[in-house]
């Protein structure tokens, strides 16, 4: 449930009159108030923001009051540095505005106030403030919500999503918005991105397009001490910094029996392959490299093939690059060299010669991208079997955010057709 505004507290919240030295500017242009330059409304409003050099308590709702008995507030817009809006309500007579959605801790905010006087002349004022840690005590018996960020420190491919694992379920939409607003992601270079709720304990973050090459990515929580619900308060969370390497993408055309590798947008290798045969079709779509195993024992029983059937197998496989948790790999398949480049004979994996598989194994790393096209198989699921996050359009991805239009800083990159490079 959305929390109703509470009474003012005495902690950093005394109603302050913002008086910045500018007063009423008279009307001009023939006396038409609508043609006048907006006057500075600083001495016409009061704002319960923090005093100079202080930080606001994020648990205290914002309030702006029209101090001019003949004037009124016409509009208030409050946003954080990432462009997320704070909800609010304006009284019908324009005498008062207050916020209705929680603020995030350790966050910069800008408030734009529009007013008009008794003659209809417009006034404007821009206010800025920064929130600190909440000062209100926790409710008795409140649980602490911890957050663990993934995938961990290191260097990853440009397709690696970030993850946030919560220690308690969060189902209420308003509470999810509080949580999501407190999970801060920044990157250099900057990207547009958004969190997506996978379930009530897990979120994934990805940019609109792939991460930039050789980027530094930082994710942190500002939820510590923040009241999320009546009995749920944000706890401590370790921040995470990771980086990306070069953009490395493989595109497997199942119908053509060819895998093409691109590095930084340039084609660097074509490989003859075999993929899933009828009944065992390889999944279409974009997959993210999960792990690599130089030698793995593959058992047909793990994909539902009964032991002893004509399709059963139990064999050692070399240079296996995993792309799904259910057992789809790109790997060496010396037993099918005669079919590679001509026919699809595997049980769902992408097979190639031992030499090509070793090169692929050495070239691809966790977070790099493997896309399959023109297969008769279903599309890779977004969640639950690895990282199929890129198989959702940007519009679909944002639908999973608790913040409408939740995006990060920076200019929006061009939407990529099917999110793969095109040959030169």
Q: Which of 204, 347, 349, 365 is catalytic?
A: 349
269 by Cβ neighbours in 10 Å (0-12 / 13-18 / 19+) ranks as middle
Q: Which of 204, 257, 331, 365 is catalytic?
A: 331
Write out the DSSP string of 159-215. Answer: T--EEEEESS----HHHHHHHHHTEEEEEES---EEEEEEETTEEEEEESSPPPTT-
Architecture of the domain defined by 248-391:
Beta Barrel (2.40)
Domain boundaries, the chain: 16-130, 143-244, 248-391
User: What is the model's pLDDT at position 283?
Assistant: 95
Fold (topology level) of 16-130: Immunoglobulin-like (2.60.40)
User: What is the model's pLDDT at position 404?
Assistant: 62
Whether 248-391 and 16-130 are alike in CATH topology: the answer is: no
List average pLDDT for each run of 10 residues in the chain, which is 424 residues long: 36 35 39 63 81 82 81 88 81 81 84 86 88 65 90 97 97 94 96 96 97 98 90 93 98 98 98 94 97 82 63 78 94 95 93 97 98 95 97 96 58 34 29
pTM above 0.75?
Answer: no
332 contacts 340 by C-beta, under 8 angstroms = no
Class of domain 143-244: mainly beta
In what order do the strands lie in the sheet containing 45-47?
A: 16-17, 45-47, 63-66, 96-99, 88-90
> Is 349 annotated in the active site?
yes
């Amino acid at each position: 449930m959305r929390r109703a505004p509470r009474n003012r507290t005495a902690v950093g919240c005394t109603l302050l009159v913002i008086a910045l030295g500018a007063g009423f500017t008279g009307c001009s242009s023939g006396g038409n108030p609508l043609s006048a330059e907006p006057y500075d409304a600083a001495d016409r409003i009061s704002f319960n923001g923090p005093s100079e050099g202080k930080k606001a308590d994020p648990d205290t709702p914002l309030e702006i009051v029209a101090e001019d008995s003949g004037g009124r507030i016409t509009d208030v817009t409050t946003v954080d540095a990432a462009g997320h809006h704070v909800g609010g309500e304006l009284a019908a007579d324009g005498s008062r505005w207050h916020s209705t959605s929680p603020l995030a801790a350790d966050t910069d905010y800008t408030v734009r106030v529009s007013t008009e006087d008794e003659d209809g002349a417009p006034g404007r004022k821009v206010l800025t403030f920064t929130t600190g840690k909440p000062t209100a005590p926790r409710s008795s018996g409140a649980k602490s919500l911890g957050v663990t960020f993934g995938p961990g420190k290191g260097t990853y491919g440009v397709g690696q999503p970030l993850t946030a694992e919560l220690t308690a379920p969060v189902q209420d939409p308003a509470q999810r918005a509080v949580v999501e607003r407190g999970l801060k992601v920044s990157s250099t270079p900057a990207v547009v991105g958004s969190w997506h709720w996978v379930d009530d304990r897990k979120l994934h973050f990805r940019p609109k397009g792939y991460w930039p090459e050789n980027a530094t990515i930082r994710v942190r929580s500002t939820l510590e001490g923040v009241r999320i619900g009546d009995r749920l308060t944000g706890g401590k969370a370790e921040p995470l910094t990771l980086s990306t390497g070069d953009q490395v993408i493989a595109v497997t055309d199942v119908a053509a029996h060819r895998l093409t590798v691109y590095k930084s947008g340039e084609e660097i290798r074509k490989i003859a392959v075999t993929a899933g045969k009828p009944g065992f079709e390889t999944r279409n779509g974009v997959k993210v490299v999960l792990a690599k195993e130089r030698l793995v024992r593959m058992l047909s029983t793990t994909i539902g093939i009964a032991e002893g059937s004509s399709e059963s197998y139990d064999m050692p496989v070399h240079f296996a690059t995993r792309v799904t948790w259910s057992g789809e790999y790109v790997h060496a398949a010396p037993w099918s060299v005669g079919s590679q480049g001509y026919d699809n004979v595997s049980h769902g994996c992408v097979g190639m010669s031992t030499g090509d598989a070793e090169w692929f194994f050495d070239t691809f790393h966790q977070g790099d991208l493997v896309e399959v096209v023109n297969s008769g198989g279903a599309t890779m699921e977004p969640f639950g079997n690895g990282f199929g996050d890129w198989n959702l359009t940007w519009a679909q991805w944002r639908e999973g955010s608790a913040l409408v239009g939740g995006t990060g800083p920076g200019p929006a990159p061009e939407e990529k057709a099917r999110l793969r490079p095109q040959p030169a």
